[in-house]
Structures are given as C-alpha cells and as structure tokens.
Structure 1
Amino acid sequence: MSSASARRDAASRASGHRKGPQRPDLRAVREGLPGPERALVAEYERHLALERGLSPHTVRAYVGDVVSLLGFLTAAEDGDRGLADLDIGLLRAWLAGQRADGAGRTTLARRAAAARTFTAWAHRQGALTADPGGRLAAPRAHRTLPGVLRADQADELMQAAAMGAEQRDPVALRDRALVELLYASGIRVSELCGLDVGAVDFGRRVVSVIGKGDKERTVPFGVPAAEALTTWLDAGRPELAGPKSEQALFLGVRGSRLDPRAARRVVHEAVAAVPGALDMGPHGLRHSAATHLLEGGADLRSVQELLGHATLATTQLYTHVTVDRLKAIHDRAHPRA
C-alpha cells in the first residue's frame, strides 16, 4: 500500500468513515502524516503545553482536532495536498464531513475553534501565507447543563456514603470523603485527584486547588466533609499508602494517586444507590453544588470564584437551571399555573 493510500485509510477511520463503533485512531493518522506536517504538529503541541500552559487534556483535544484536519487535508483522492493548500473551502469541507458523520453542534464548535487557533498560530510561524481560519464559522454550541440532584437526593447520597464507611474499610472511607468533598466544594474531578494532603487546611476548612491554566484558588468546605476527610486521613489512607503514594490526598487501591477515571466510577456507583436520581459523575456533583448554592441565596460572583470559572457568563448558566426548576415547581404546585 502506498503512503498516500495509507494516509487516506487512516484519515478515513479518523473522520468517521469506518465500519463498527470503533474510536477514531488519531495516533495512526498522526503517524501517517507527511514529515513536514507531522513535525508541525509536534511543534504546535509544545507551543500549547509550554508556551500557553494548557492542561494535558486540553492539549490532547486541540492536537487531536488538528491531526484530524491535516489527515483530511493530506488524504485527498485526487492527489496529496499539503498545509500550503489549506483554505476556507477545505476547512468548511472538513467540518461538513464531521457533521455528516454525526458530530453535534458543541463538537463542531470546538473543532472549528481548534482549527482557528491552529491556523492563526501557523500563520504567525510562517507555515501559512494567510490565515484561512479567521473566516471559519461554526454552529453556536448549545450551552446546556446536565441534570442535577435535588437537595434531598444529595443528602441521601451523603448518608449512603456514610453508611458504607461504617465498617471502616479504607476504600469506603476514601469514597465517602471523595463524594463529600466534591459536593461540598464543587471542584473538578481533575482538581480533586491532583490534591496533596497539605492542600487541606482543617483550621479554616478550605482546600487550595490548582485549576485550569495552573491558577490556584481557595475553596471552602463544610463540617461533614471535614469529618469525612479526617477519618479518611486517620484510618483509611494509612492502610492504602505505599511507596507510590507520595503526598497525594486520595489514593487508589494500589497506593498510587487516585486516577480521575476511578473517581468517576466511585461517583456513578454512589449516585446509582439513590432512588430516582439521574445517573451522573463528578461533574454532575459540581453542577448540583453550584445550583444548590444559588438556590440558597449565594451571589453569582461568589459561585464563579468557587467554581474557578474564567468568566461570569459560564456561571450564569446555572441561573437558567434554577429558573427552569422554579417554573416546573410553579406549574405543578400553583392552582392557577
């Protein structure tokens, strides 16, 4: 098989033209890119990670979108194209192919943003004579939030976690502390798994969190979370700790720092034990915490600071949730609704 044919095959798999529910093999697409494009991707990846300081997750997402774009570009049936051939028509054709493969509005908006960021950078680097991404538009993403727990369901969740920890099993003690802290603080699961023991200040009942863009913020937590954390540190963590533990606050069963995927499983399983609760992971607890704070009278600025949102507009989404819930309650309860 020729190199061009190999690239077409890999790019086809990455863009969705494949049989079965396989995930796009972007690694194969990247390895199949021509040398100059592959080197440019590596340079762009370093730029995102080192110069812009983006999180590994964000870097992977941006680089994956760029690899998909370049794979599409260099796998043309009518002859290979290079980066120099990239124009607004090809950018739109790439997005159209993504849409035909079932990508939603939110995904298309993210990929368009990734393409614009890349072409602007490539133009500054001299790899493109013009920036075609500046003219690229995409459907506005739907800014929606998943369902949240009711306050009584959140209370049931915490009670169930506490009951599970009564046997003093170290994993159960960890899971209780994990669920309590996620709901009490509204922090992200990546932030939670990145915490060290020293980040927790029990005297002031706050935790120091490193969020997106390596920005540090101080987040408060309540008495129940403090009690769960204390029990975990006194009776649970020492049972799991080992040479790989270092200073990590939450540990996996083998003693290393808890992986976010394991934390998500813990939350999904815990929420599943609450009758009538929607299935959700750590992000659902984050949404629930923000919604309950606003329903309890907290102001938007305070919630923005607690959640670590860069803009108030993101936090304002939660007001839509609370208003919608109030309308639903009004419709059900008011005699003249």
Structure 2
Amino acid sequence: MSVVAFPSQPGPAADATTAAGIESAAGRFLDSITTATTRAGYTETLARLTAVTGPHHQVADLTPEHYAAVMDRWKTAAAATWNRHLSALRSFTTWAQRQDLLDTNPARRLQRRTPARRGDRSIPRTRLETLFNDPAHALRERLLWRLLYDTAARAEEILSLNVEDLDLEFRRARVVSKGGAIEYVHWATPTARLLPRLLAGRTTGPLFLADRRAPVSGPRAPASADIDPATGRGRLSYPRAEYLFKTASAQLDPHRQGWTLHQLRHSALQHLAHAGRTAPELRAKSRHQHLASLDRYVRPGEETSARVTAEAGPIQPRRPR
C-alpha cells in the first residue's frame, strides 16, 4: 500500500522566520508609523539598510557593522541629516526589540552629532519675495514655501495636509501638531490666490503631490491615505521638498548652500517680532507650549545689526523721493 503525504502547511515558526527578514520587517515597521512625512523619511534610511544587508537578511543577525555601513552614506552630510537617519535606525531597532526580532542594539556605536551653532538663521524678506514670485519655480514649490512662511507652521504639518483639511473661506487649515493635538494654521492673501490653482478642482487626497505615480507594492508603497485617488500620485515627501528648496535658494544664499524649510518658520516668526508683535502673539502664531521656546526665533539677528549700524552712522543715507 502506498502512502501519499499531505502537503505541509507553513507553521508559525516558518512565518516568523519569513517576517524576520529585513525587507519584510522594515515594511511592517513603516506601516506602524502614522505620520506620512516621518514614514517617508524613514523609508529612505531603511531602503539603504535593505541594500546593505540584502532583503532576506535576518533582523536578529544585524550588527554594528551593518549600521555603520548604512550611515557611511551620510558621513559628510550636515549634522541634522546624519541625526535624522540615525534616529530612523534607532526607531527601527526599538521596534524590532519590542517585536522580539532583535536582542542586541546595532546602533550602540553610533553617536548623534552636534549641529554647528549658527547666528541669524532668518532669511531676508526681500530674498524670500524673490523666491516666492519667481516663475522659474513650479507652482507647487512656490505655494509650499509661501504657505510655510504665512502659517509659520512646521514643514511636517504642512506636508501632511489633505485637501479636506483646508478651509478656504476662512483661510485656515486643520493640522496635527507635534504633540498630536488638532490645531489651525492661517494664511494670507498671496497664499489664498495660489491655492485654487494648485487644487485644480481636487477635493480629496494629499495637498502636495509627488511628481510620479506611487508604487502599489513593495516596501516603498505608501499608505492609501497618502495617494491621490484621481492621479495615483503619492504625497510629496519631506526629503524631496527640502532638496528642491535648498537647490532653488542656493542662488540667493550668500554661502551658496541653500536654506532649509525650517528656516521659513524661523524667518516668519522673527520678521513678526521685528514688526513689534508681542510674545503672546508669536506664541499663538507658532503654537509653542512655552514662551521660552520662542527665544531662538525672536533673537535679534543680522537685519537688526544692519539697521542699528546704519542709524548710528554720522551720515544718514538719503531716502528716495
């Protein structure tokens, strides 16, 4: 009598082994992140980790050498960039340890870098207006920059906006703040004029869209909430938006390095402070929890120094008639 074996079914152990591969685990970790811009930034770091180790490398076998090879890509980058990618690796490590996929800490030999102290980080208003009104830049970028400056909001908050969050009548938008609270940010007339042009009749989906259609599968596939249902394009990511702003602003930056998106928030608050707005007013605009947090934004900078020097000179410059 012949015996025919039934096809074996994969048990829990096999499933766990498959899930412990870097590519699969990274996908699960990214799915657990609800903030779209954070997920987009971490995706870049974990894609590099997958490339270094191979997609099927076991999470349990990660070593400090693997993480060092990942971070080697950004060894010459600014301290903020280095720290951002290191934070992604550390977050993935913490998640993997909680999932019982990893017993060690492969990031233990890597250290955060101290950003170089900079004086005045605000961007002169005249140069900002040049950027905002230059038709050489795409409408999406000019609106994003103007909206960040008008609202003095964090870049993550604005990039996470959906069309449904906009209140065009009252010139405001509903954002999820850094602490998770629901708050409103407000914009002025120049932004109000540009918004309908960008929307072009759209009523749902991310406000700022990427240039290409989003992948529908794999570790780089975004969540359905981050895809425009009409075009299939994904949400514009923070790294891409930052790159475009730095590239565009490098021509106006005296150091030719370009400015960061966060400097738009800094500039807005400092310009309001120079215009005589009180600390409580600035706090309402920036939505900081503590007044002390505003000190780094409203500290007098280069423009104040130039004005004081000019006013103190023995010969006052002539005013144009």
Under TM normalisation by the shorter chain, which class is it?
0.5 to 0.7
Structure 2 CA distance for aligned equivalents of residues 146 and 126 of structure 1: 46
> How many percent identity over aligned positions?
21
CA shift at 1:292, angstroms? 0.8
Matched, 1:97 2:72: yes
The CA distance in 1 between the partners of 2:243 and 2:103, in whole Å, is 48
Whether the 8 Å contact between 2:164 and 2:205 is mirrored in structure 1 is yes
For structure 1, the residue ranges without an aligned partner over 5 or more in a row are 1-32, 165-170
**Number of aligned pairs?**
270
Structure 2 CA distance for partners of 1:68 and 1:312, relative to 1, 3 Å: farther
Structure 1: distance between partners of 2:267 and 2:126:
11
Equivalent residues in 2 for 1:175-254 (5 A)? 181-187=147-153, 194=161, 196=163, 199-200=166-167, 202=169, 206-211=172-177, 215-222=181-188, 224=189, 229=192, 240-241=200-201, 245-246=202-203
Give the alignment of 1:240-319 within 5 angstroms.
240-241=200-201, 245-246=202-203, 285-299=264-278, 302-303=281-282, 306-307=285-286, 315-319=294-298
Question: Counterpart of 1:41 in 2: which secondary structure?
Answer: helix
CA drift of 1:92 comes to 6.6
* Residue 23 (structure 2) aligns with: 38
Per-residue CA deviation, residues 101-142 of structure 1 (Å, 9 max, x unaligned), is 633322222222222222222122111123343564222234
User: Partner of 2:97 in structure 1?
Assistant: 123
Question: Is residue 271–residue 280 contact of structure 1 (8 Å, CA) maintained in 2?
Answer: yes
Aligned CA distance change for structure 1 residues 128 and 104 (closer, same or farther; 3 Å)? same
Structure with more helix by fraction:
1
> How far apart in 1 are the matches of 2:42 and 2:244?
29
Q: Is the 8 A contact 2:151 2:187 kept in 1?
A: yes
TM-score of the aligned structures, taking structure 2 as reference length: 0.56
| Secondary structure of 2:175 counterpart | strand
* Structure 1 residue 217 displacement after superposition: 1.3
Q: CA deviation at 1:74?
A: 5.4
- 67, 70, 84: which one aligns with 2:60: 84
Q: Which residue identity is paired with 1:229?
A: A
Find the aligned partners of 1:250 and 1:108 in 2 and give their Cα distance. Answer: 28
- Does residue 68 of the first structure (1) align with residue 48 of the second (2)? yes
User: Partner of 2:224 in structure 1?
Assistant: none
Match in the other structure for 1:16: none
| Equivalent of 1:133 in 107, 126, 138 | 107
The answer to whether the 8 Å contact 1:120/1:134 transfers is: no
Q: Hey, what's the Cα distance between the residues in 1 that align with 2:206 and 2:37?
A: 21
Distance in structure 2 (CA, Å) of the matches to 1:232 and 1:285: 18
Q: What is aligned with 1:17?
A: none
> Retained in 2: the 8 A contact 1:143–1:317?
no
Task: With the length of structure 1 as denominator, give the TM-score of the two structures.
Answer: 0.54
The one of the two structures with greater contact order (alpha-carbon pairs below 8 A, sep at least 6) is: 2
2: CA distance, partners of 1:65 / 1:249? 23
| CA offset digits 1:30-88 (Å, max 9, x no partner) | xxx997222211221122x2xxx2x223113223323423543459xxxx97433434x
* 1:300 and 1:316 in contact (8 A); partners too: no
SS of the equivalent of 1:133 reads coil
Q: State the one-letter code of the partner of 2:72.
A: G
2: CA distance, partners of 1:183 / 1:230: 15
8 A contact 2:152–2:266 mirrored in 1: yes
Letter of the aligned partner of 1:326 in structure 2? T
Following the alignment from structure 1 to structure 2, what is the Cα–Cα distance between the partners of residues 284 and 192?
Answer: 14
